[in-house]
Structure 1
Amino acid sequence: MVHRIEVRVYYEDTDLAGIVYYANYLKFIERARTEWVRGLGIDQGALKRGKGIVFAVRRVEADYLRPAVFDDLLGVTTRLLALGGARIELEQEVWRGEERLFAAKVVLVCMSDAGGPARLPPEVRARLEAG
């Protein structure tokens, strides 16, 4: 399944050349991941409070394919690729209509409050697998 949100490019997202600053694509995909998890019924705040578990980005492989510009309406997609014991692998893309602008493979890890790895709780795993 592919999850999708829309993001509007604001002036603050652009650089001197008038295109989206490269680091802002990481912000766009972060928002999309947050909405994807929320849409699956996973409350990250409650997960931290109740089990002391958070998700952290471990790795991002990013390809910048075409520039987005001020006032573009972008679609940001998230798709689950694989689940491990404490690892979530995702594919995320940014689109302008039918034109793919950005593609990333993102590896998240489940961590304890102490900063070490933590297994995905069974109820979280079930929601991720179902989504």
Structure 2
Amino acid sequence: MSHETPVRVYYEDTDMGGIVYYANYLKYIERGRSELVELLGMNQLEMRDKEGIVFVVTRVVADYLAPAKLDDRLVVHTSHRAQSAVRWVFDQEVRREDVVLFRAEVTAVCMTLEGKPTRLPKGLRAAVH
């Protein structure tokens, strides 16, 4: 399962040189993961409010390969690679056309609101298998 999320680079995303500020790539890939979770039929607010569980990113390994610039039209490609009872690993890329600008491996853990690891929701486990 994978998903593509379009992103446009606005002035607020850039540094003084018109290049996307490095931390904004993390925002872009967060949007991509959120879109994939929704595509799988999960509502993160309902998970939090009804089940008392949230996703917490515990690890990001990132490579910045080429700069994105003001007004670029980008695509965040998100796919899930692995999962365990509580952990979900994503592979993500930010691309401008066919050029990969940024690549990351992201690990998220399902946690209770009290901060304890818990199993991924049953519906989500079924959807990603």
Task: Give the C-alpha shift of residue 122 in structure 1.
Answer: 1.6
Q: Which amino acid aligns with 2:114?
A: A
Name 1:100's counterpart in structure 2: 100
Per-residue displacement from partner, 1:42-95 (whole Å, max 9, x unpaired)? 011111111100001000000000000000000101011101110000000000
Does 1:10 find its partner at 2:10?
A: yes
Q: How many residues end up aligned between the 2 structures?
A: 129
Name 1:50's counterpart in structure 2: 50
| Aligned equivalents of 2:105, 2:94: Cα separation in 1 | 12
Task: Provide the TM-score with structure 1 as the length reference.
Answer: 0.96
Coordinate RMSD, CA, aligned: 0.8
- Which runs of structure 2 are paired with 1:1-131 in the superposition (5 Å)? 1-129=1-129
Q: Which amino acid aligns with 2:78?
A: T
Task: Provide the TM-score with structure 2 as the length reference.
Answer: 0.97
| Aligned equivalents of 1:109, 1:23: Cα separation in 2 | 21
Unaligned runs of 5+ in 2: none
Contact 1:110 / 1:117 at 8 angstroms: preserved in 2? yes
Contact 2:64 / 2:101 at 8 angstroms: preserved in 1? yes
Q: Which amino acid aligns with 1:49?
A: D
Q: Which amino acid aligns with 2:116?
A: G
Contact 2:81 / 2:89 at 8 angstroms: preserved in 1? yes
| Aligned equivalents of 2:120, 2:68: Cα separation in 1 | 35
Contact 1:93 / 1:104 at 8 angstroms: preserved in 2? yes
Unaligned runs of 5+ in 1: none
Poorly superposed stretches of 4+, deviation over 2 Å = none
Q: Which amino acid aligns with 1:26?
A: L
Task: Give the C-alpha shift of residue 127 in structure 1.
Answer: 1.8
